[in-house]
Amino acid sequence: MEMILALAIGVLTGSGVWLLMRPRSFQVIIGLCLLAYGVNLFIFSMGRLYVGAAPIMPKGGFVDPAAYADPLPQALVLTAIVISFATTALFLVVMIASRGTTGTDHVDGKEREQ
Amino acid sequence: MVEQNLLLLLVLTPFVSAALAATLPVGSRNAETWLAGLTMAVVLGVLAVLYPAVDEGGTITSKLEWASSVGLDLSFRMDGFSWLFMVLVAGIGMLVLVYARYYMAADDPVPRLYSCLLAFAGAMSGLLLSGNIIMLVVFWELTSIVSFLLIGYWYHRQDARDGARMALIVTATGGLCLMVAMILIGQIVGSYQLEDVLAAGPQITGHRLYPVVLILFLLGAFTKSAQFPFHFWLPNAMAAPTPVSSYLHSATMVKAGVFLLLRFQPALGGTDAWFQIVTGAGMITMLLGAFVALFKHDLKGLLAYSTISHLGLITALAGIGTPLAIIAAVFHIVNHAVFKASLFMAAGIIDHETGTRDMRRLSGLAHAMPVTATLAIIASAAMAGVPLLNGFLSKEMFFEATYVWNNGSPLDNWAPYIAVLAASFSAAYSLRFIVTVFFGPKATDLPHEPHEPPALMRLPVFVLVAACLAVGIAPQATLGNWLTSAGMAILGPDLPHFSLKLWHGVNPALIMSLIATGLGVIIYLLPRRWIDRGEEGLRITRALEFARFFETGLQFATVTLPRRMLRRISATGLQGQLRVMVLMGMAAAYFALGPLDWNITLPEISSRELVFALLWLIGGACALAAAWQAKYHRFAALILTGGVGLVTCTTFVWLSAPDLAVTQLLVEIATTALLLLGLRWLPKRDEEIAGDNNFTSRFRRFRDLMIAVTCGLGMTAIALAILLTRPGSSVGDWFLRHSYVEGGGTNVVNVILVDFRAFDTFGEIAVLAIVGLTVYALLRRFRPALESVERPRPQVEAEEQALEAYLFIPAVLMQWLFAPIIALAAYLFFRGHDLPGGGFAAGVTFALGLLLQYVASNVRWVEARLTILPVRWMATGLIVAASVGLGSWIFGAPFLTTHYQYLELPWIGKVPASTAMLFDVGVFSLVVGAIVLMLIAIAHQSLRVAPRSRPTESEEQS
């Protein structure tokens, strides 16, 4: 389980980083999305992995924390999901506006000089 | 107690009036004048009431607790010295405000002027009355900023903008130096209270940091009071309207520097360094200012340099620092303010009535405006130091101070000679002003026919000139008491006896005065024709144009140097910058983790995890394929990314994070919809990119691939290392223990978001709102790529068919689904506190329900039936969330403290009722608004008509 998730985080991060450094704006936006998945999973995994132990408790009283999933990384990732949606939306609009005004989808607004 | 509150009133009233003045309509010169005049009258009235308390060395203090833990309190303090200064600020302020009524043209935006002038009066009051030295600096900077706004009042003029900028840079930089000095003083003394600082003189002067403190302090004072070598900003500030020059740049603001010198003289003064620097700078400034003033052809230029010279005189007196010199300095502050303000106003009248300030053109005005001429002549005689006028008395005291005091240093020995020389130049330029402007043949080529101004415009000048005469003739009766209490405030109760008298008998000061006046007449009259017609100044003073040095330096520091550095160190494009960022991240990880040992044994993948492994086989393949395809096949890449999102979502379900799964799924839908809408405006990528397959491009890709692979391997290693290490105690345990007891919810994640860490969530929804508005704003002026302007094929075909046939069955289904989706949103919302769900998930669901309607039918159909005002949803959300937070203040709890209890409802049973749920309502509303705003803003672009197909007006008419 841990091995698989770690590999998944690695693949997502690697693809995201590669796309981040590409010259076309759409590549960068997809890269950001992939990177966001990778980072979210990474933050999430900081609380270790629990199978079948949701952070929902019975009503009342004290509980034994060991029996539940760590809620803190989950709360952090929830925020991160929202923020990455917001940045994607913002970047998307900048991207199509830049395509309109510069006439190219290169991230610098002009093709590289050969 | 009354006195303390009155003290606060002195500072606050002008600011309140400034806010009022800013809101009056543009053309209301009279209303503005009444408002401002009454404000000043109130201030003067309060000052009159407070005088008995500051007489004979008394002080009034008032203190409002603010940030006591760091030594910051709003404390105000008034003594005889600041009282006298306040009278100047309010009295001259009142006269200037009346004068400005007639000086400004009807179409000038007067509310701005009056508002700034009143704000200046407030800032100046704060500066004078601050009992805390940090607060003093804050008000000090505030006066610089208001001065900037006022110099740049006519901001369509280049010289006004340049002058304003120069003044701000010089004085505000000085203010920053002053702040550092004050902080150091506070650290040395152990208190930021003015009283304590003034009492700790020996402690400061004996400290090893004293030279640093002194230099920084003097930088502040010298820049403000235009002392050499920072004097150059003042002449350039003359681009301001004349009332401003008269009020800020001669009578009050520029005196703040000398005020500070005198105020802190007991704490910082009395050392040799103080004497050498302060007196030296003052003497140089005095001589230089007087010399340059003689050659100026511009009336205001002459007065500006004369102001610099007189400020130098006061500075020199502060440097000498004997009790009599201090008294003389205070006396000259008052005298100079009175005669120079009246002279500036007279210059303004001349400018106003003749249309020019050039002394080469003005001549013989005594015939056309005899009253103004008389007043101006008396005022300039005071400036020259003619007996029976106030300027004479303080100049005598100055001569005496330079002559009497003796510490044997070269500067001290030269002081009397420099003083006489400067005074003779002063007499010379005053004489030049009188002779060229008012006497001689009548000027014939003036822009306007000169005549007397309105009587009320002359009145302020008259009042000030009357004060010059009154003080000059009966100094003891008019100013004696005030000067005594001001002197006591600076020097303490054992003030030496001094007598303000016109006639002290024949003494050295009188002889010096006579020599200076006589010399002044000779200096002007002998080379008169050359001065009147020639160039402005000698070649050497023109070569030493400090303003030009300043501009050159500024150009270098703010334009040339940054550009050069940018060329040197900046990456050429975004790719390079991102690459550097990634590499830096890798380097940071390497240095942080490099020293650690790797003692992780890799686990076997057991057969039970096969499904999970298959899941991520798909996920990983999707991610790699998306990375592969994103360049030319955007749609495919988007779908593949969606696949990764779904796998992530499944992982969350698998690993006990239902809240994340719900949110991820919903956001996934919203993101995909958004990107699909955006793809419509991104023209198809041409597969041929020039030079894409040459060696350098291949090399670049290979290098980036290596970086990416390293990143991926590194992240895998880090994640693996952490996952296989036993966890320590987590903060999460605390949340699990307290979530139900203190937050009243069983869904800990939701309780963290809306209760324990609600402030973070508040920030997060604010970010979402900002992004929503930004997207909306960016799309308002959106110009699509030319290739994507044409309507896409399916839409064109749909128009050819019957409109109803287009997506008919899906449309009906989606319309039916609308109500269930809304119900689902409500369900998710209400169970949020105890079970997976919550305001955020509900908001996205709701927004998606609305979006489906847009997808199913066309935009016009939906908007004819359903009005959504996303911006109001967002505003409501923010207001609800904020007011829930503020509401806890009513109960004396910190921002966003929540309260909860379970309510027993009939039929339904126990229901959690928490203020956190109200907060969640805010989150819900904002999320709906922001997502709908973004999606609809993009969706609405389809309504735009292609520019080429839009019928022009002429075609429509024909």
φ/ψ (deg, to 5) at B67:
-115, 70
Indicate the residue of B619, B652, B670 with minimum beta-carbon distance to A8.
B619
Q: How far is B864 from chain A (nearest CA, A)?
A: 26
Residue B421 predicted with pLDDT over 80: yes
pLDDT at B171: 93
B711 inside 8 A of chain A by CB: yes
* Contact list, B637 vs chain A (CB under 8 Å): 26, 30
When CB atoms are compared, the residue of A29, A71, A79 closest to B748 is: A71
Least confident of B66-75, B232-241, B758-767: B66-75
pLDDT, residue B480, reads: 85
Query: How far does the CA of residue B182 sit from the closest CA of chain A (Å)?
Result: 43
Between the CA atoms of B214, B220, B226 and B230, what dihedral angle is there, to the nearest 10 degrees?
80
Give the gap in angstroms from C-alpha A67 to the nearest C-alpha of chain B.
10
Find the range with the poorest average confidence among B77-86, B234-243, B866-875, B886-895.
Answer: B886-895
- Of B380, B274, B401, nearest to B330 by C-alpha is B401
- For B573, which of A74, A79, A107 is closest by C-beta distance? A107
Q: Are B811 and B899 in contact (CB under 8 A)?
A: no
Q: What is the pLDDT of residue B39?
A: 93
Q: Is B915 on the interface with A (CB under 8 A)?
A: no
Does residue A108 belong to any structural domain of this protein?
no
Q: Are B756 and B740 in contact (CB under 8 A)?
A: no
Q: Report the mean per-residue pLDDT for chain B.
A: 86
Could you tell me if residue A12 is inside a domain?
yes
A29–B675: do the CB atoms touch at under 8 Å?
Answer: yes
| Contact (CB<8Å) A45/B623 | no
Distance of residue B769 Cα from the nearest chain A Cα, in angstroms: 9
B19 pLDDT higher than 80: yes
| Shortest CA gap B745–chain A (Å) | 8
Interface contact B627, partner A, CB < 8 A: yes
Residues of A in contact with B688 (CB under 8 A): none
A113 touching chain B per CB within 8 A:
no
C-beta atoms of A23 and B575 within 8 A: yes
Instruction: Provide the 3-class DSSP secondary structure of residue B914.
Output: strand
Question: Nearest CB to A10: which of B712, B753, B786?
Answer: B712
Question: What confidence score (pLDDT) does residue B953 get?
Answer: 45
| SS3 call for B65 | strand
In the prediction, which pLDDT does B625 show?
94
Chain A residues in contact with B782 (beta carbon < 8 A)? 96-97, 100
Do residue A10 and residue B715 have CB atoms under 8 angstroms apart? yes
Residue A92 forms part of a structural domain: yes
From B507, B537, B567, give the residue that closes a domain. B537
Q: Would an 8 Å CB–CB cutoff place A88 in contact with chain B?
A: yes
How many whole angstroms from its chain centre is CA B129?
22
- The answer to whether A3 contacts chain B (CB < 8 Å) is yes
- Higher pLDDT among residues A69 and B313, named by residue: B313
Structural domains of chain A, count: 1
Is B690 in contact with A6 (Cβ distance < 8 A)? no
Distance of alpha carbon B495 from alpha carbon B544, whole angstroms: 43
φ, ψ of residue B572 in degrees (nearest 5): -75, -35
Q: State the Cα–Cα distance between residues B168 and B148, nearest whole angstrom.
A: 6
SS3 call for B835: coil
CA dihedral B650, B652, B657, B660 (to 10 degrees): -90
Give the pLDDT band (50/70/90) at residue B800.
low
Beta carbon pairs, A and B, within 8 Å: 315
- Chain A residues closer than 8 Å to B645 by CB: 33, 37
**For B244-294, what is the HEC assignment?**
HHHHHHHHCCCHHHHHHHHHCHHHHCCCHHHHHHHHHHHHHHHHHHHHHHH
* Residues within 8 A of A (CB atoms), B 713-732 only: 713-720, 722-724, 727, 730-732
What CA–CA distances, in Å, run from A63 to B656, B734, B741, B900?
Answer: 17, 10, 11, 20
Give how far Cα B241 sits from Cα of B236, B380, B655, Å.
Answer: 12, 21, 72
Q: How confident is the model at residue B951 (pLDDT cuts 50, 70, 90)?
A: very low
* Mean of pLDDT values over B693-707: 88
Q: What does the CA dihedral B608, B610, B613, B618 come to, rounded to 10 degrees?
A: -140
The answer to whether residue A113 sits within a structural domain is no
B896: three-class secondary structure by DSSP: coil
Which pLDDT score, from 0 to 100, does residue B1 have?
A: 67
Residue A110 covered by a domain: no
B623 and chain A: CB distance < 8 Å anywhere? yes
Mutate to test the interface with B, among A81, A102, A110 (most CBs of B within 10 A): A81
Q: What is the C-alpha separation between B667 and B840, in angstroms, rounded?
A: 10
Evaluate whether residue B899 is within a structural domain: yes
Indicate if the pLDDT at residue B814 is higher than 90: no
> What percent of chain A clears pLDDT 70, i.e. is strictly above it?
95
Task: Give the whole-angstrom CA distance, residue A77 versus residue B656.
Answer: 14
Q: What is the pLDDT of residues B264-301, one digit of tens each?
A: 998 888 888 999 999 999 999 999 999 988 888 889 99
**Using alpha carbons only, how large is chain A's radius of gyration in Å?**
19
Mean pLDDT in residue range B562-576: 84
Q: B704 to chain A: which residues are within 8 Å by CB? A: 18, 21-22
Is residue B567 a part of any domain in this protein?
no
Interchain proximity A82–B764, CB inside 8 Å: yes
Least confident of A57-71, B381-395, B420-434, B839-853: A57-71
- Shortest distance between the Cα of B618 and any Cα of chain A, in A, equals 10
**B729-787 tens-digit pLDDT:** 777 788 888 877 777 778 888 888 888 888 888 999 999 999 999 998 888 878 887 77
Residue B609 falls within a domain, yes or no? Answer: no
- CB B748 to CB A55 under 8 A? yes
Q: Of the given ranges (B282-286, B425-429, B630-634, B883-887), which has the lowest mean pLDDT?
A: B883-887
What is residue B329's predicted lDDT score, i.e. its pLDDT? 93
The model's pLDDT over A20-64, given as tens digits with 9 standing for 90+, comes to: 999 889 999 999 999 999 999 999 998 888 887 777 777 765 667
Partner B contacted by A67 (CB < 8 A): no
Give the residue from chain B lying closest to A9, CA to CA: B716
Mean pLDDT of B413-432: 91
> Where does a domain end: B537, B560, B587?
B537
Between B745 and B182, the higher pLDDT residue: B182
B737: contact with A, CB 8 A cutoff: yes
At residue B801, the pLDDT reads: 61
Please write the tens of the pLDDT for every residue from B470-521.
Answer: 998 888 888 888 888 888 888 887 777 777 777 777 788 888 888 998 998 8
Q: What is the pLDDT of residue B280?
A: 92
- Show residues of chain A in contact with B639, CB under 8 Å: none
What's residue B541's pLDDT? 67
When mean pLDDT is compared across B535-539, B559-563, B756-760, B855-859, the lowest value belongs to: B535-539
Distance CA A94, CA B320 (A): 64
Identify which of B616, B626, B681 has the shortest CB distance to residue A96: B681
Q: Tell me the per-residue pLDDT of B890-905, one tens digit each, with 9 for 90 and over.
A: 777 777 777 766 667 6
Residue A73: inside a domain, yes or no? yes
pLDDT of residue B954: 46
Least Cα distance to B224 among B149, B313, B311 occurs for B311
Q: Could you report the per-residue pLDDT of B116-141, keeping only the tens digit for each?
A: 999 999 999 999 999 889 999 999 99
What pairing do the DSSP bridges indicate for beta strands B900-905 and B909-914?
Answer: antiparallel
Contacts of A57 in chain B (CB under 8 A): 736, 739-740, 746, 748
Helix (H) or strand (E) holding B900: strand B900-905
B708 with A99: Cβ contact below 8 A: no
B738 CB within 8 Å of a chain A CB: no
Is residue B45 predicted with pLDDT exceeding 90?
yes
What is the per-residue pLDDT for B802? Answer: 56
Q: What are phi and psi of B66, to 5 degrees?
A: -135, -90
| Range(s) of the domain holding residue A38 | 2-54+65-102
**Residue B430: pLDDT over 70:** yes
Is B631 in the A-facing interface, judged by CB distances under 8 Å? yes
A-chain CB neighbours of B719 within 8 Å are 5-6, 9-10, 42, 45
Select the residue from B639, B716, B774, B831 to test the A interface by mutation, using most A Cβ atoms within 10 A: B716
The proportion of chain B whose per-residue pLDDT surpasses 70, expressed as a percent, equals 93
Task: Using CB atoms, pick whichever of A12, A54, A88 lies closest to residue B656.
Answer: A54
- Residue B159: CB atoms within 10 A of its CB come to 12
- Distance, in Å, from the CA atom of A54 to the CA atom of B658, rounded to the nearest integer, reads 7
Nearest C-alpha in B relative to A61: B741
Mean pLDDT, residues B548-569 taken together? 88
Enter the ipTM: 0.95
Summarize the confidence of residues B812-841 as an average pLDDT. 86
- pLDDT above 60 (res B15): yes
Range of the domain at B859: 729-945
What does the DSSP 8-state code read for residue B946? P
Let me know: does B573 contact A107? Beta carbons within 8 Å. Answer: yes
pLDDT of the residue at B946: 46
Strand B60-67 relative to strand B72-78, pairing: antiparallel
Q: Tell whether the model's pLDDT for residue B841 goes beyond 80.
A: yes
- Indicate whether B179 pLDDT > 90: yes
Count of the separate structural domains present in chain B: 2
Mean pLDDT is highest, among A10-19, B185-194, B358-367, for A10-19
CB contact under 8 A, B682 and A31: no
Give the chain A residue nearest B779 (alpha carbons): A93
Q: What is the pLDDT of residue B506?
A: 79
The pLDDT confidence band at residue B227, using thresholds 50, 70 and 90, is very high
